[in-house]
Chain A
Amino acid sequence: MTKIFISTLLFVCMVFGGAWDQSATAASPTYPPDIQKIKDRGQLIVAMHSIDQIPYLISDPSGKLYGNDVDLAKSIADELKVGITFDRTAKTFNEIVDIVASGTADIGLSTLSRTLARAEKVRFSNPYAVVRPVLVLNRVAAAKLNLGGSLSEMARFSGLIGEPKGNSYIGFAKSVSPKATVVEFDTWDETFNAVTEGRVVATFRDEIGVKNYLNRFPERAVQLSMISIDNPAMVDGLAIAVNSQSLHLLGFINLYLEMKYPTRKADDLMRIYAQHYKK
């Protein structure tokens, strides 16, 4: 009796187990093409700047990447249950946008500011971090021009402003100081050198970028003054760039940010990644 019962039970299990198995195959998720492509590849390709951006993107000597943007990209990949590949060929921020637009990378996640010019090529997620823009002035040049650094003064300012090539702050500078001439440099360091030496009067940059620079060269604060721009309309929202075809991925990322990732501010970022500032 017992034998018969057990064998019946086994049979039932097999039948139903098979049915379960079959039903699972039948309901196998058919993802929208943009997600399917990532699932098939098993990798989320993330475009990032070739130069480290503390505290967003930091590489240690062994080539291991960490930082806020790296962590966020990894957690998105984890939610998609795929691995991650970083594409760090971009020399400028605009190049990151181009890489995403061409479809070489799935997303661009590298302290990207949203600009209208970039939004013509890619779609942007909601901001994952907001940072204030900062006006950096050469103190002596500003004193000679009697320039205090308020927005109304900068609106009338007609001198030279330096910004690095392919940077969103070129547009920002032109919108804040329409009468000024924007001089483009190759890198941020060259831009800051020019302001320090008084070759240009000012530059605009995000507060973390400015703080990082002055952490590296504290003596430059003798020449450079930083004035935070507190106008809420001018806050720089850092967002994730997504290919124009990847509508579903964009929806997924926005929902992820909404549910699991409260928008971070500069102070949060600097606190969370404080150990990198001690170095």
Chain B
Amino acid sequence: VSDPRRTDETVARLAEVAGLELSAERRAALVLLVEDLLDGANEVSRLVAPHRDLVPASQFIHPDAWRDAS
């Protein structure tokens, strides 16, 4: 689970790099949300790590790719 202080620093740094202006109030709201989101994303990253042959879904979104699955 993320450390809230680290999440706060991460949000501040990412916002600065992205050129987003965040007030302290907006940053606080964002930290609460982002903590859970990043934990969830990391869990998914951990799950797919062993599957080296997996391609991103952006490949299968093309209709031709459905034919193998249907």
Q: Do A and B come from one complex?
A: no
> Which positions in A face B, CB cutoff 8 Å?
none
> Which positions in B face A, CB cutoff 8 Å?
none
